[in-house]
């Protein structure tokens, strides 16, 4: 499957590291990717990629570089696939008019829930099934099916992804005429909607949960992200005031948390127009990676970013309407000997910033704020040391990207007091 690679050197945080950024694009012309439109993408515990069409389930085994197709003609499955879910134990579940579970030893599927029609579903640790049928949410324990949310009331309101907290508490958000976040403990349905009343334009199109008890909610129109902490009940709202998100005309299809608790967001202007970006928030800073610059995408290409998924090798997979994108951000050492490292001081600083190049040559630098706004560009040549006057700078945190003579880019962070 490995066909195309574009490598760019980018951010280096902290001082002794640099991120090596690689992109690959797979489609039906340059690889064995079976279809181009990928809008339901998941990765299982063995790093296999899964997605579906209405009539086929596709699995890509990264380790063996092999594709498997499951459909009605070669397995026990039935047509009309709607969702793929990965259980906590790594089991793969598929839904059509039944819910199926993969039997890995024979690479076939068995029915685990008969005659369940659903758009999304999840099992808790006790085997209770929660599923969405159009606008309603149901639970099924044994033979008993119970409606726990009716999206027709004040709707239609469409439930988003179903999340299980502490192995037994169900969480989900809704998108439609109203927006809210719900929890269900097996007997009682609670709603959290205060922040949505304060921000009536919020429409939730993606939900995910990290292992720090945070639920992340993504908004499609305007591309904002909400964070709700289950333990302390605090909300954090990311828009254009505190992040690179939330700018007019931005549209996000998906946002997800990875195994390191980073939140990732894919966005474009009017869904298909550059700038097309992949954003990462590590709990302190936002980093933007340009998808359109990596692949020279123009508005005429009409690329729609559809789905995010992650594997154990820190690869970010993006499903699109024209193939599958693989992105990797790996940290490597700049220098092996500490005395050779480029240093920046004083940091924090008030007026003067000095960069010790340690006998290296720099062909210029760019300084930007944390939102990505460029503050200063300098293309002069420097040897050994750079001195920068910061008197005109506002108080805050800045990123400086140095270009070295060998074209390597080193990124450092400093604070103006």
CATH of the domain at 403: 2.60.40.3080
Q: Is the confidence at residue 338, as pLDDT, over 60?
A: no
Q: How far apart are CA 128 and CA 355, in angstroms?
A: 59
Report yes or no on 42 lying in a domain.
yes
Please check whether residues 322 and 365 belong to one and the same domain.
no
Cα-to-chain-centroid distance, residue 353: 35
Q: How far apart are CA 216 and CA 206, in angstroms?
A: 8
Whole-number average pLDDT of the chain? 87
Q: Which domain holds residue 350?
A: 341-416
With DSSP H G I counted as helix, E B as strand and the rest as coil, what are the percentages for the chain, rounded to 5?
5, 55, 45
The model's pTM is 0.76
Please check whether residues 347 and 279 belong to one and the same domain.
no
Please check whether residues 362 and 301 belong to one and the same domain.
no
Domain C-terminal end among 307, 333, 359: 333
Domain C-terminal end among 315, 333, 351: 333
Please check whether residues 174 and 123 belong to one and the same domain.
yes
What pLDDT digit, counting tens, does each position of 189-232 carry?
999 988 888 776 678 999 999 999 999 999 988 899 999 999 99
Please check whether residues 361 and 280 belong to one and the same domain.
no
CB 10 within 8 Å of CB 21: yes
Residue that the structure tokens 């063996």 belong to: 64
Please check whether residues 148 and 281 belong to one and the same domain.
yes
Name the helix (H) or strand (E) containing 295: helix 291-295
Number of folded domains in the chain? 2
Please check whether residues 58 and 143 belong to one and the same domain.
yes
Please check whether residues 137 and 255 belong to one and the same domain.
yes
List of long-range contacts for 278-282, beta carbons under 8 Å, 24+ apart: 278/316, 278/318, 278/327, 279/243, 279/244, 279/245, 280/329, 281/225, 281/238, 281/243
Please check whether residues 156 and 64 belong to one and the same domain.
yes
Report yes or no on 355 lying in a domain.
yes
The residue-averaged pLDDT of 3-24 equals 46
| Alpha-carbon dihedral 53, 216, 257, 238, rounded to 10 degrees | 110
Q: Is the confidence at residue 253, as pLDDT, over 70?
A: yes
Please check whether residues 174 and 285 belong to one and the same domain.
yes
Q: How far apart are CA 393 and CA 259, in angstroms?
A: 37
Q: Which residues contact 246 (CB under 8 A, 6 or more apart)?
A: 222, 223, 224, 238, 239, 240
Instruction: Residue 27: give its domain's CATH number.
Output: 2.130.10.10
Domain C-terminal end among 303, 333, 363: 333
Report yes or no on 1 lying in a domain.
no
Report yes or no on 215 lying in a domain.
yes
The residue-averaged pLDDT of 294-316 equals 92
Length of the chain, please?
417
Return the bridge partners of 25, or none.
325
Please check whether residues 226 and 104 belong to one and the same domain.
yes
Task: Indicate left, alpha or beta for 396 from its phi (over 0: left) and psi (-120 to 50: alpha).
Answer: left
341: confidence class by pLDDT, cuts 50, 70, 90: low
Please check whether residues 276 and 137 belong to one and the same domain.
yes
Q: How far apart are CA 84 and CA 94, in angstroms?
A: 5
Report yes or no on 300 lying in a domain.
yes
Question: 3-state class of 233 per DSSP?
Answer: coil
262: confidence class by pLDDT, cuts 50, 70, 90: very high
What pLDDT digit, counting tens, does each position of 62-90 carry?
989 999 999 999 999 998 999 999 998 89
Report yes or no on 103 lying in a domain.
yes
- Record the tokens describing residue 331, joined without a space: 């940290």
Q: Is the confidence at residue 15, as pLDDT, over 80?
A: no
């Amino acid at each position: 499957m490995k066909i195309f690679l574009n490598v760019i050197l980018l951010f280096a945080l902290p001082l002794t590291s640099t991120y090596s950024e690689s992109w690959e694009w797979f489609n039906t012309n340059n690889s064995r990717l079976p279809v181009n439109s990928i809008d339901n993408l998941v990765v299982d515990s063995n790093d296999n990629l899964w997605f579906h069409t209405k009539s086929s389930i596709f699995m890509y085994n990264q380790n063996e570089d092999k594709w498997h197709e499951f459909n009605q003609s070669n397995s026990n499955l039935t047509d009309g696939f709607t969702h793929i879910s990965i259980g906590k134990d790594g089991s793969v579940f598929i839904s059509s008019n039944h819910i199926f579970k993969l039997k890995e030893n024979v690479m076939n599927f068995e029915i685990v829930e008969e005659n369940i029609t659903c758009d999304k579903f999840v099992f808790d640790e006790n085997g209770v099934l929660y599923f969405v049928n159009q606008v309603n949410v149901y639970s099924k324990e044994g033979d008993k099916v119970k409606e726990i949310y009716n999206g027709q009331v004040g709707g239609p309101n469409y439930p988003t992804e179903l999340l299980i907290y502490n192995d037994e508490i169900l969480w989900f958000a809704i998108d439609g005429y109203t927006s809210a976040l719900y929890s269900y403990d097996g007997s009682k349905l609670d709603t959290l909607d205060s922040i949505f009343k304060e921000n009536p334009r919020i429409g939730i199109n993606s939900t995910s949960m990290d292992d720090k008890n945070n639920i992340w909610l993504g908004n499609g129109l305007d591309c904002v992200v909400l964070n709700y902490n289950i333990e302390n009940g605090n909300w954090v709202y990311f828009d254009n005031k505190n992040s690179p998100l939330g700018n007019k005309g931005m549209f996000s299809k998906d946002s997800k948390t990875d195994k390191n608790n980073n939140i990732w967001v894919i966005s474009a202007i009017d869904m298909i127009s550059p700038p097309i970006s992949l954003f990462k928030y590590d709990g302190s800073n936002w980093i933007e990676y340009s998808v359109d610059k990596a692949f020279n995408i123009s508005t005429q290409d009409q690329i729609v970013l559809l789905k995010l998924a992650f594997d154990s090798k820190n690869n970010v997979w993006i499903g699109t309407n024209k193939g599958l994108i693989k992105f990797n951000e790996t940290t490597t050492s700049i220098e092996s000997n500490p005395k050779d490292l480029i240093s920046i001081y004083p940091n924090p600083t008030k007026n003067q910033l000095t960069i010790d190049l340690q006998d290296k040559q720099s062909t210029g630098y760019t300084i930007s704020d944390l939102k990505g706004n460029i503050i200063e560009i300098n293309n002069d040549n420097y040897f050994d040391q750079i001195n920068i006057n910061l008197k005109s700078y506002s108080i805050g945190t800045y990123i400086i990207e140095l270009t070295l003579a060998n074209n390597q880019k080193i990124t450092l962070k400093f604070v103006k007091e």
